[in-house]
Amino acid sequence: MIDRVAVVGIGMTSFGKFLDRSVRNLSEEAVRDALSSAGLGPEQVDWVFFGNAASGIVTGQEMIRAQAALRFTGLAGKPMVNVENACASGSTAFHLAWQCVASGQAEVALVVGAEKLSHADKTVSFGAFTKAVDLEEELPSHVGAGSGSIFMDIYAEKTRRYMEATGTTAADLAQITVKSRHAGARNPLAQFRKETTVEEVLGGRMISAPLTLQMCSSIGDGAAAVVLCSPRIASTLTGCKPVWVKSSVLVSGFADATKPNAAGRAANAAYEAAGIGPNDIHVAEVHDATAPAEIFHYENLQFCAPGHGAELLRTGATAIGGRISVNPSGGLLSRGHPIGATGAAQIVELVLQLRGEAGERQRVGAKVALAENTGGQIGGDSAAAVVSILAV
Amino acid sequence: MIDRVAVVGIGMTSFGKFLDRSVRNLSEEAVRDALSSAGLGPEQVDWVFFGNAASGIVTGQEMIRAQAALRFTGLAGKPMVNVENACASGSTAFHLAWQCVASGQAEVALVVGAEKLSHADKTVSFGAFTKAVDLEEELPSHVGAGSGSIFMDIYAEKTRRYMEATGTTAADLAQITVKSRHAGARNPLAQFRKETTVEEVLGGRMISAPLTLQMCSSIGDGAAAVVLCSPRIASTLTGCKPVWVKSSVLVSGFADATKPNAAGRAANAAYEAAGIGPNDIHVAEVHDATAPAEIFHYENLQFCAPGHGAELLRTGATAIGGRISVNPSGGLLSRGHPIGATGAAQIVELVLQLRGEAGERQRVGAKVALAENTGGQIGGDSAAAVVSILAV
């Protein structure tokens, strides 16, 4: 396959709760660092894709989020598209930017994923997630029931069924968090950087059984930016080592739980388009919105057979030093999950891994990487899923 | 220039205030009619681009607007992207769909623009427009001042300066509305279908001087859908006459009033890309959010020299029977302006015109058409502008 699109710049803020930072302030830092790492100026950017999911709810800014956030970056006047796909907003922006460059519409495209979820009134932050389901068809059945967090309740119910069917234990789930915090402790930009133990995870506050507090991703703020370009431009940039996008696939969910899920369909199509299989992947960033979700995604991505996710975890194959390092950034659980930023942050991590610049969390010898990001909820499936495969 | 993208299907609901209709209900009708007019089924659609600006504010549905609105259309599972660009959301979705087909990513792409603005509480509807400006930098200077409608105040101020500089009169502005209502009376889907007079327009309630009620676009609901496809698919569709997209350009505004405006820059680039000039255009749909805006756009689109818009109007050249018919649908003023739907509705009208199917409002012999749609407000300019040129 011809390499048509290179990632040549990455930038990312610290992820965390920053009540004093705005979407603009976060975006400016990520954009500045991404362009600078590519050795490009804003005037060389042809197109901007801006992923954000919750500004309308948390800050009131709707409609022209990119234009407002980026007005002082030197990017004003460029084509800008504001993209939403719930927790997959950042990867949707990345996918469109890849399309834009792959098709020759742009030589240089910039992806920004930015989110400000923290709010002095916590109910505003948590309320955002009620907007990522189908309000007319599905929200009514959740209101007033369960933990108060729709998504945690959905994950919890699915997890209970999965544990029953496969023998996966609560300790297995806790081990995902232990692995995640171990990685987060090695990522200076991560929101949670303190190691934990299985006992500590299991002893935490129960959010929605069997999910304890540390098994759930948290409210956070942050931005990540990625610069993509054509091979022609990449060849002129001597200061950076290009990472190639081998494929990128976006699908939406069937509102029908009997059909294959969105993440699995996107992965199948991405493997096929890239001519790369699950056994070729050295490092992956997957959508661990909860601890069990990482196990589910081992299976969706065919890292193991259905029902064998916990076994794969127990072998250590998905740890930083393993055959297929999963979520070496700390993932959503520990790097953090400012929702619109997550898809772009996954790419940032994989580029570091493929360049061999991931320091203490480096998967040694990483040449092929996969990012998987899902968003929203519709009829028992993710509303959107994006899988992208990168390589050097 | 090679014709790479055809419009082969259009669908549109009535525009108006429909308190009992939802974004889903409106979208379903437009999608069904668009696919049916193309002779295609939902299973043949490769990609969906969904433009909506205000659902988050009016109904609470954010993040997965397309997936929720289209879940029962047979389109579930398809790649769907939720696009915002304020009043240019529909044309931004159209632009991305054109890119997607032009680049070979999709053989068939569906554009949906849908909006539900009416609400039992009118302050909710009007409040939506405060989210289309930069909340941090610009909203504070508007709150509590003027008419209560930020956009009407911005247009009014610009109009006063323009009238002073060019000798354009209030009667000229009223004449735009008279022309608009004349067209609307000939469009069975228009929100305002009753003819009016200059005296009636001038005698109406003053919203923000010199703009009277009938010089301002109104709150409305509606959806429009457009099917685009590759030449290969178009050649297999015997039931419809393809209209070709000659060019489509999206830009954002400079937050700097001393620079050329977004609409003018988009038009220049679209003319150049299409190899078509302003004198070649037979029919245009332009963004007349207010009556004077149509005059401004005559100039942005180079239908006349700067400052000579009112003269062009007075010649009758932009009436339905004129050399360059502008807004034969009734435009935003009379067809209506459900904001995310407008950009798609413009394409629907131009396709009817180019097919010779516009009935009483047909611009006879129309072969080349232009759509111009702007959105939001940043630093004295539109935040986004899209210009597309179509031809048969």
**B193-225 tens-digit pLDDT:** 999 999 999 999 999 999 999 999 999 999 999
A residues 219-248 near B, CB within 8 Å?
A: none
A76: closest CA among B141, B251, B380, B270?
A: B251
User: What is the predicted ipTM?
Assistant: 0.94
Q: Which residues of chain A neighbour B384 with C-beta distances below 8 Å?
A: 64, 67, 80
Instruction: Give the dihedral of Cα atoms A212, A216, A219, A222; nearest 10 deg.
Output: 140
* Residue A252 contacts B where some CB pair is shorter than 8 Å: yes
Helical residues (DSSP H) of chain B, grouped into ranges: 23-38, 55-58, 65-69, 89-102, 122-127, 139-142, 150-166, 170-184, 198-202, 231-236, 262-274, 291-300, 309-315, 331-334, 339-355
Task: Give the model's pLDDT for residue B44.
Answer: 98
pLDDT above 90: residue A125: no
A127 to chain B: closest CA residue: B60
Instruction: Give the distance from residue B251's alpha carbon to the nearest chain A alpha carbon, in angstroms.
Output: 4
* Residue A43 contacts B where some CB pair is shorter than 8 Å: no
Task: Give the model's pLDDT for residue A59.
Answer: 86
User: Which residues are CB-contacts of B254 (< 8 A; sequence separation ≥ 6)?
Assistant: A76, A77, B260, B262, B379, B381
Tell me whether residues A86 and B104 touch, CB distance under 8 A.
no
Report, as an integer, the average pLDDT of A66-80: 95
Taking phi over 0 as left and psi of -120 to 50 as alpha, with beta for the rest, B275 belongs to: left
pLDDT above 90: residue A25: yes
Task: Give the model's pLDDT for residue B145.
Answer: 56
Task: Give the model's pLDDT for residue B144.
Answer: 55
Q: Is the dihedral of CA B354, B356, B361, B363 positive or negative?
A: positive
* Residue A21 contacts B where some CB pair is shorter than 8 Å: no
* Residue B24 contacts A where some CB pair is shorter than 8 Å: yes
Q: Which residues of chain A neighbour B102 with C-beta distances below 8 Å?
A: 103, 105
Nearest-by-Cβ selection for B61 from A80, A99, A135: A135
Q: Name B11's bridge partners.
A: B225
- The secondary structure of chain A, three-state, reads CCCCCEEEEEEECCCECCCCCCHHHHHHHHHHHHHHHHCCCHHHCCEEEEECCCHHHHCCCCCCHHHHHCCCCCCCCCCEEEEEECECHHHHHHHHHHHHHHCCCCCEEEEEEEEECCCCCHHHHHHHHHHHECCCCCHHHHCCCCCCCHHHHHHHHHHHHHHHHHCCCHHHHHHHHHHHHHHHCCCCCCCCCCCCCHHHHHCCCEEECCEEHHHECCCCEEEEEEEEECHHHHHHCCCCCCEEEEEEEEEECCCCCCCCCHHHHHHHHHHHHHCCCHHHCCEEECCCCEHHHHHHHHHHCCCCCCCCHHHHHHHCCCCCCCCCEECCCCHHHHCCCCHHHHHHHHHHHHHHHHHCCCHHHCCCCCCEEEEEEEECEECCECCEEEEEEEEC
* Residue A140 contacts B where some CB pair is shorter than 8 Å: no
* Residue A302 contacts B where some CB pair is shorter than 8 Å: no
Q: Which residues of chain A neighbour B253 with C-beta distances below 8 Å?
A: 67, 76-77
Confidence of residue A143 (pLDDT cuts 50, 70, 90): low
C-alpha–C-alpha distance, residues B256 and B8, integer Å: 39
Q: What is the mean pLDDT of chain A?
A: 94
> Which amino acid is residue B154, in one-letter code?
I
C-beta separation of B264 from B251 below 8 A: no
Task: Give the model's pLDDT for residue A133.
Answer: 84
Q: Which residue has the tokens 């070729």?
A: A280
Q: Which pair of tokens denotes residue A34? A: 């991404």
C-beta separation of B181 from B201 below 8 A: no
C-alpha–C-alpha distance, residues B85 and A358, integer Å: 37
Task: Give the model's pLDDT for residue A23.
Answer: 96
Q: Which residues of chain A neighbour B64 with C-beta distances below 8 Å?
A: 84-86, 132-134, 375-378, 383-384
Q: Is the dihedral of CA B171, B176, B179, B181 positive or negative?
A: negative
Nearest-by-Cβ selection for A252 from B79, B256, B259: B79
C-alpha pair distances (Å), B15 with each of A316, B108, B215, B224, B346: 59, 26, 18, 9, 13
Report, as an integer, the average pLDDT of A298-305: 98
Catalytic status, residue A337: yes
Nearest-by-Cβ selection for B53 from A57, A63, A104: A63
Report, as an integer, the average pLDDT of A2-7: 89
A260 to chain B: closest CA residue: B77
Q: Which residues of chain B neighbour A150 with C-beta distances below 8 Å?
A: none
User: Which residues are CB-contacts of A266 (< 8 A; sequence separation ≥ 6)?
Assistant: A249, A250, A251, A372, A385, A386, A387
Task: Give the model's pLDDT for residue A141.
Answer: 66
> Which amino acid is residue B115, in one-letter code?
E
Q: Which pair of tokens denotes residue B366? A: 């129309």
pLDDT above 60: residue A192: yes
Other beta carbons within 10 Å of B230: 18
- What are the residue ranges in chain B where pLDDT is below 50? none
Q: Which pair of tokens denotes residue A299? A: 């299976």
Other beta carbons within 10 Å of A152: 20
- DSSP helix/strand/coil, B61: coil
Task: Give the model's pLDDT for residue B298.
Answer: 98
* Residue A261 contacts B where some CB pair is shorter than 8 Å: no
Tell me whether residues B67 and A99 touch, CB distance under 8 A.
no
Terminal Cα distance for chain A, rounded: 13
Task: Give the model's pLDDT for residue B126.
Answer: 83
pLDDT above 90: residue A101: yes
Active site residues of B: 87, 337
pTM: 0.96
Task: Give the model's pLDDT for residue A345.
Answer: 98
Tell me whether residues A81 and B78 touch, CB distance under 8 A.
no
* Residue A68 contacts B where some CB pair is shorter than 8 Å: yes
Q: Which residues of chain B neighbour A99 with C-beta distances below 8 Å?
A: 99-100, 103, 105
Tell me whether residues B22 and A136 touch, CB distance under 8 A.
yes
**A211-237 tens-digit pLDDT:** 999 999 999 999 999 999 999 999 999
Task: Give the model's pLDDT for residue A60.
Answer: 85
Main-chain dihedrals φ then ψ at residue B223, nearest 5 degrees:
-145, 150
Q: Which residue has the higher pLDDT, B103 or A295?
A: A295
Tell me whether residues A131 and B84 touch, CB distance under 8 A.
no
A95 to chain B: closest CA residue: B81
Task: Give the model's pLDDT for residue B146.
Answer: 65
For residue B260, with 0-12 CB atoms within 10 Å meaning exposed, 13-18 middle and 19 or more buried, which class applies?
middle
Nearest-by-Cβ selection for A84 from B62, B71, B253: B62
C-alpha–C-alpha distance, residues B335 and B346, integer Å: 10
Q: Which residue has the higher pLDDT, A104 or B40?
A: B40
Tell me whether residues B83 and A82 touch, CB distance under 8 A.
yes
